[in-house]
Amino acid sequence: MVKDLAVPTQAYLGGQWYAAPRTFPVRSPYSGEVLAEVADCGEAEARLAADTAVEAFRTWRKLTGFERGRILRRWNDLLIAHQEPLGRLTALEMGKPITEAKGEVLYAASFVEWCAEEAPRIGGELIHPRFSHKRQMAVYEPVGPVYAVTPWNFPTSMITRKAAPALAAGCTVIVKPAEQAPLCALYLAKLWEEAGGPPGTLQVLPAADPVPVSRVLMEDPRIRKITFTGSTPVGKLLYRQAADTLKRISLELGGNAPFILFEDADIEKAVQFTLLSKYRNTGQTCITTNRIYVHRRLEADYAQALAEAVSRLKVGDPLDPSTQIGPLVEEQGLQKVVAHVEDALAKGAQVATGGRPLGGLFYAPTVLTGIKPGMRILEEETFGPVAPLMPFEDEEEVIAWANNTEYGLAAYIWTRDLGRAFRVAEALEYGIVGVNDPVPSAMGANLPFGGYKSSGLGREGGRWGVEEFLETKLISIALP
């Protein structure tokens, strides 16, 4: 099936399709079948990619923003034209239900479109001088070659969210895609080539083991920036590694998003909200609702309505357009979900619906009630289709519970009280707060995305995302 999609399986290095000496298998999480054998890059390929990215940077940075923008615009158009095959590829390699997967391709394209438009606007500022004989300006320049490490859960959009602003700014980019989903990354490289992207500006190095590639690129002082989406432990490791060469760094890491459902909520709308914020991508989004605090007055009605709606979610083949819940991406992810539910049940939680593996990498969409402090499911990111419900009575207390985590990526509230909406949104220590909005990042190429505390550093999206790839240079001219 992957063959029909004309997906490259070699690495994309220096504008060439490069057959690495080794390959690794990419498996469908749905059927377990090997979809493709993909180039397995290591230190030698990483060194070559670094040399090429440095060389390509010399000329790419000198193009005008208009010229870079035109290439990005063509990339955007190609992405949209290839929505169908890229959507299928996403469903095949990481199990995202096809309807969502096709939506993700448009989300991916939206970052490219936005950055195509931003590229000519990256300028600088004239500064009002302190001394009358001086003329002073701040000039924005690209930081240099960038190393981007991207995740499997959004295998197209998390690449364009990093690569598009970097390329718009004049940086060159080496992408190391997640080993679970490298095919979408290679497909994006193919479209970049077709769009006229110059050799070496965007390179893709799949690797079964990320360590050798990362070691070379993190140690190379010519690579000036690392941008990463993934787990907090790996993000902290990269942060430490970046210190030796003082690379700029952007990190989009783990979360533990609370959803607070206040007593003035409409139950039916709150259920629809939960389906989107909890079960999208089978619960495998960084901003997924991880724990639900429901006001005690609504608890029973909401739990019942949610359990009914969740039990109707269609679980199945990601390529079937009626599927709403696909498989988890890998065994390790499934085992974490199993362990969190078992721990909660052992400590007194009850299953309102689901609560069991369904065979293969499937886990039944689940609602748990009777959740209490001390359960793992409240403290760790589950990354699966499980909604744990815990009652609360007091606004101040629930805000304290919501903030009682090392993470701070996304938080959600539902209320019709405007005063409370602002009060609580301001009190939550999170980079993203959705007030009655279950998908605050939807098509959000224009929005800042990123976390507080152990959820990361820097922001992606909008002008903030472009600024991450710019240096600010002062030019000060003293008039003779």
Chain positions contacting ligand SIN, by CB under 6 A: 153-154, 229, 252, 285-287, 441
Nearer to ligand SIN, 214 or 277 (CB): 277
Nearer to ligand SIN, 93 or 252 (CB): 252
d(CA 463, CA 479): 33
- H helix or E strand, kind and range, residue 49: helix 43-60
The beta-strand segments (E) located in 335-469 are: 350-353, 357-359, 362-363, 366-369, 386-392, 407-408, 410-414, 432-435, 452-453, 456-457
Nearer to ligand SIN, 116 or 287 (CB): 287
Nearer to ligand SIN, 220 or 460 (CB): 460
d(CA 50, CA 47): 5
Question: How many alpha carbons lie under 13 Å from residue 427 in its C-beta half-sphere?
Answer: 18
Q: Phi-psi category of 455—alpha, beta or left, where left has phi over 0 and alpha has psi -120 to 50?
A: alpha
Phi, psi of 267 (to 5 degrees): -60, -45
Q: Which of 41, 104, 286, 468 is catalytic?
A: 286
Nearer to ligand SIN, 116 or 445 (CB): 445
- Smallest gap from residue 441 Cβ to ligand SIN (A): 4
- Smallest gap from residue 452 Cβ to ligand SIN (A): 15
Task: For the chain, count helices (H), then strands (E).
Answer: 15, 24
Minimal CB distance to ligand SIN: which residue? 286
- H helix or E strand, kind and range, residue 26: strand 23-27
The answer to whether residue 252 is catalytic is yes
The DSSP bridge partners found for residue 435 are 413
Distance of CA 422 to the CA centre of its chain: 27
Nearer to ligand SIN, 156 or 214 (CB): 156
d(CA 322, CA 325): 9
- Smallest gap from residue 456 Cβ to ligand SIN (A): 10
One-letter identity of residue 264: D
Phi, psi of 285 (to 5 degrees): -120, 150
- Smallest gap from residue 449 Cβ to ligand SIN (A): 6
Contact yes or no for 92/28 (Cβ under 8 A) = yes
Closest CA to 101 of 111, 87, 89: 87
Nearer to ligand SIN, 154 or 302 (CB): 154
Nearer to ligand SIN, 57 or 154 (CB): 154
- Smallest gap from residue 219 Cβ to ligand SIN (A): 27
- Smallest gap from residue 249 Cβ to ligand SIN (A): 17
- Smallest gap from residue 123 Cβ to ligand SIN (A): 28
Contact yes or no for 188/156 (Cβ under 8 A) = yes
Q: Which of 118, 193, 252, 381 is catalytic?
A: 252
d(CA 114, CA 171): 16
Q: What tokens were used for 15? A: 């504008």
Place of tokens 């009682």: 404
d(CA 105, CA 100): 9
d(CA 107, CA 128): 40
- Smallest gap from residue 290 Cβ to ligand SIN (A): 12
Q: What tokens were used for 12? A: 């994309």
The answer to whether residue 184 is catalytic is no
Catalytic residues: 252, 286
